[in-house]
Amino acid sequence: AQRVTQPEKLLSVFKGAPVELKCNYSYSGSPELFWYVQYSRQRLQLLLRHISRESIKGFTADLNKGETSFHLKKPFAQEEDSAMYYCALSGRGSGNTGKLIFGQGTTLQVKP
Amino acid sequence: ETGVTQSPTHLIKTRGQQVTLRCSSQSGHNTVSWYQQALGQGPQFIFQYYREEENGRGNFPPRFSGLQFPNYSSELNVNALELDDSALYLCASRKGQETQYFGPGTRLLVL
């Protein structure tokens, strides 16, 4: 079964604290993993994708194929990071439509 | 370059009615996908259109149908509305296998 699991509905941290948003996946094949973010009153937007291996707004995520995880991390949280975060996957290669399978989302609340 | 737009922003319908939602893709994007996001859930894939043909479908009944036009804009049609169809409907567009860009969504309430 193809599935993305985000075990935490809400993660609350203080400004300056480290953040780790958990994401586990189940997929038979070679997936591409993404993190999407939705700030208050804004549309869903891509934060990062594993194949680009870049850091956006201080966030990084490493694909761990052994643990089938793609956790999102940031060493020092900022108040402007408060948002809803969705982990998603899609299939790679020919024959895959590129449809995204999303987790249920985690609300990150960064307190001052 | 304009982003993905959707209309209307909000809609109220009653059970049994039919609804059409519209999406204009981002300039240069030839693939449009539709997602349903129920309250408190992540988006769920409904279907995708590429060059006016459906080329992928999620676990949704046939009363969910769509169209893509030559200018790559798209419509989502839902017949025989049910209470559980109340959700935010998201459209996303992309070019080839590049990043998907999402619209602001249409919030549908079925009474």
Select the residue of B33, B42, B101 nearest A104 (Cβ to Cβ).
B42
Collapsing DSSP to helix, strand or coil, A107 comes out as: strand
Query: What is the 3-state composition of chain B as percent helix, strand, coil, each rounded to the nearest 5?
Result: 5, 50, 45
Collapsing DSSP to helix, strand or coil, B50 comes out as: strand
Give the DSSP per-residue string, A8-73: -SEEEEETTS-EEE--EEE-SS-EEEEEEEE-TTS--EEEEEGGG---BTTBEE--BTTTTB--EE
What is the distance in angstroms between the Cα of A4 and the nearest Cα belonging to chain B?
10
Tell me if A98 and B97 make a contact (CB, 8 A cut-off).
yes
What is the distance in angstroms between the Cα of B105 and the nearest Cα belonging to chain A?
8
| Residue given tokens 């079925």 in the structure block | B110
Per-residue pLDDT of chain A (112 residues; tens, 9 = 90+): 789 999 999 999 999 999 999 999 999 888 899 999 999 989 999 999 887 777 889 999 989 989 999 999 999 999 999 999 999 999 866 666 778 999 999 999 999 9
Peptide bond into B8 cis (omega under 30): yes
Does the beta carbon of A98 lie under 8 angstroms from any beta carbon of chain B?
yes
Q: Could you tell me if B45 and A97 are in contact, meaning their C-beta atoms sit under 8 angstroms apart? A: no
pLDDT single digits (tens) B4-38: 999 999 999 999 999 999 999 988 899 999 999 99
As given in the structure block, the two tokens for residue B1 are: 């370059």
